[in-house]
Amino acid sequence: MADLDFDHFVEKLRTDIRGFGRIYDQHVSYYRQVLPHVLLGDLVRYLKSVARSEGPERVAVDEAMALLESGMGSADTKLQELVTVSFLARLDPDDEDLEAVRSRFGDRLKETYQADKRGRHP
């Protein structure tokens, strides 16, 4: 994947994560625009929901983790901040339902999440 940037990332959330297009469209309908930090909160709730399911939509967790991992590897620091502040920081370490999400982290997500939970940045 070519280097991802902030603006393209938001669109890829809609197109690359199975079932999230509906959530994206609801978000835009409600806010009349895309609010990326709020949208990442919607993504956390969506992934928590599909991670608990046994259906085919569960593949969305892997799709999301691949996209988020690419975001953390991007040269775009605005995108890295979005993923860190609006996605990783919302993953409650005590929420067992989110373990299926955390267990699929790539190296960059894992390192940043662990550093954030220790109160420092990598």
Provide the residue type at 89 as one letter: A
For residue 21 the two structure tokens come to: 């297009």
Residue 96, in any domain of the structure: yes
The reported pLDDT for the residue numbered 10 is: 93
The reported pLDDT for the residue numbered 88 is: 96
Q: Where are the alpha helices (DSSP H) in 1-122?
A: 6-16, 20-31, 36-52, 59-73, 77-86, 99-102, 107-117
The reported pLDDT for the residue numbered 2 is: 54
The reported pLDDT for the residue numbered 52 is: 84
- Rounded to whole angstroms, the Cα distance separating 109 from 45 reads 18
The reported pLDDT for the residue numbered 121 is: 52
Q: pLDDT below 70 — which residues of the chain?
A: 1-2, 120-122
The reported pLDDT for the residue numbered 19 is: 94
pTM above 0.85, yes or no: yes
Residue 1, in any domain of the structure: no
The reported pLDDT for the residue numbered 32 is: 98
Q: Which domain holds residue 42?
A: 6-117
Number of folded domains in the chain?
1
- What is the average pLDDT value for the chain, to the nearest integer? 92
Residue 61, in any domain of the structure: yes
Residue 122, in any domain of the structure: no
